[in-house]
Amino acid sequence: MKVAISSLGQTLSSEMDPRFGRAELFLIVDTDTLEYSVLDNTAYQATGGAGIAAAQAVIGMKVAAVITGQLGPNALNVLSREGLDLYQGQAKSVQENIELLNQGKLVRIAQSGPSHQGMGGEGHHGGHA
């Protein structure tokens, strides 16, 4: 299965980014072979609509599932409409989250986290975990 996981770096050993729309990178990983590619999230600095743009970019990669910390309401709606499986990742590496997914140990995301309107005065990382 091909999944997108929000990432703080460009390797499987990178920590999962708990943000979705504001994640700088997504790793697109084949859960069977662990082959992956890096998708730059060009919307992460957008003043608005980052979640929707990130969701559309991920959908364009033909993934079956997303692993992230939380999804805003707009991103959740877009991804859900496409039928993607959405999983709550853990504060571990990308590879550890893939292993947890393969073991059936990740919880599905059923509702959104808070909506973030732009980056506000909090800067790039937003201060949210």
pTM here is: 0.87
pLDDT score at 129 = 37
Q: What is the pLDDT of residues 52-107, one digit of tens each?
A: 999 999 999 999 999 999 999 999 999 999 999 999 999 999 999 999 999 999 99
What is each CA distance from 39 to 59, 65, 128, in whole angstroms? 12, 15, 22
Q: What is the pLDDT of residues 1-55, one digit of tens each?
A: 999 999 999 999 999 999 999 999 999 999 999 999 999 999 898 888 999 999 9
pLDDT band at 116 (very low <50, low <70, confident <90, very high): low
pLDDT score at 122 = 37
pLDDT score at 79 = 98
pLDDT score at 55 = 97
C-alpha 116/C-alpha 121 separation (Å) is 12
Residues 106/100, Cβ–Cβ less than 8 Å: yes
What are the beta bridge partners of residue 16? 7
pLDDT band at 113 (very low <50, low <70, confident <90, very high): confident
Which tokens hold the place of 106?
């990740």
pLDDT score at 127 = 38
Backbone angles phi, psi at 12, to 5 degrees: -65, -25
